Amino acid sequence: MPLSLPIAIYVALLGLIIGSYLNVLIHRLPLGISTVTPRSRCPGCGEVVAARDNIPILSYLLLRGRCRHCKTEISARYPMIEALTALLFVACYWQFDVSVELLAGLFFCAAMVALAAIDAEHFLLPDKITLPGIALGLLLSRWLYWSGWRSALLGALLGGGLLWALAEGWYRLRGEEGMGLGDVKMLAMLGAFLGWKGMLVALFFASVSGSAVGLAMIAGGRGGMKSKLPFGSFLALGGVVSLFVGPAIVRYYSSLL
């Protein structure tokens, strides 16, 4: 499809700005601080971060990853989240052109980046992202070519129900919590956005990549059967994979049946 370079650049810049906001969200949401006010401060010296030091990626490079005042190191996560968000945004434009699907894709990718990062650090998937995510996915579903409201509703119920049953079964079997309700709500959100088929594709990729990393950790002597993995981070990865290639995979398997 013919893509326009100015729109691609605009979408990339939007990705950098949203990515910059996601950094604030990722840092503050688990702490229960407002993500709008107050302005960001350096954790080292407490100085308010000036606007010129808050330009996505560029400021990090110009400051060589250190606070202007106290030279405390700034986490490389900040520019990485910004770059990743911009990349995913451009990929969405590439895939969906200017459409409702693009809008859904941008929201979805931003949420996946935030959830993946928060779960990796805190083993937490905030309701403030997953619950509005479920609502937005259901709301947009009737306009999405891969979904429709029936598929989205079924996806949310099936996704939530499936993981809830797994978590409950695991708890009864092992007497310990293997998965939290955050994962349940997140898979419901994936179902709402991707439809029930896309949700299953996402769950498949999440399980495969999660198991691979788990086994690699055990093999590398860095963990055992009891080590905790942030399953939400893998769900986010599976969700993004499914957003881009899920419909093609579903079409392929449907053609086999």
- Residues forming the site for Zn ion (CB under 5 A): 42, 44-45, 67, 69-70, 72
| Assigned token pair, 176 | 């310990």
Rounded to a whole number of angstroms, the minimum distance from the CB of residue 31 to Zn ion is 19
End-to-end CA distance of the chain: 30
Nearer to Zn ion, 71 or 122 (CB): 71
In the complex with Zn ion, which residue's Cβ is closer, 69 or 122? Answer: 69
Between 40 and 209, name the residue whose CB sits nearer to Zn ion: 40
Cβ 72 to Zn ion shortest distance, Å: 5
CB of 50 to Zn ion, least distance (A): 11
What's the number of CA atoms in the CB half-sphere (13 Å) around residue 135? Answer: 5
Residue 68 Cβ vs Zn ion, minimum distance, rounded to whole Å: 7
- Read off φ and ψ for residue 124, nearest 5 degrees: -145, 135
Distances (CA, A) of 173 to 166, 176, 231: 10, 8, 19
CB of 71 to Zn ion, least distance (A): 7
3-state secondary structure the chain: CCCCHHHHHHHHHHHHHHHHHHHHHHHHHHHCCCCCCCCCECCCCCCECCHHHCCCCHHHHHCCCECCCCCCECCCHHHHHHHHHHHHHHHHHHHHCCCHHHHHHHHHHHHHHHHHHHHHHHCCCCHHHHHHHHHHHHHHHHHCCCCCHHHHHHHHHHHHHHHHHHHHHHHHHHCCCCCCHHHHHHHHHHHHHHHHHHHHHHHHHHHHHHHHHHHHHHHCCCCCCCCCCCHHHHHHHHHHHHHHHHHHHHHHHHHHC
Cβ proximity to Zn ion: between 4 and 75 the closer is 75
Quick one: 32 or 46, whose CB is closer to Zn ion?
46
* Closest distance to Zn ion from the beta carbon of 53 (Å): 10
Least distance to Zn ion, CB of residue 122, Å: 24
Given the complex with Zn ion, which of 28 and 69 has the nearer CB atom? Answer: 69
Q: Residue 44 or 223: which CB sits closer to Zn ion? A: 44
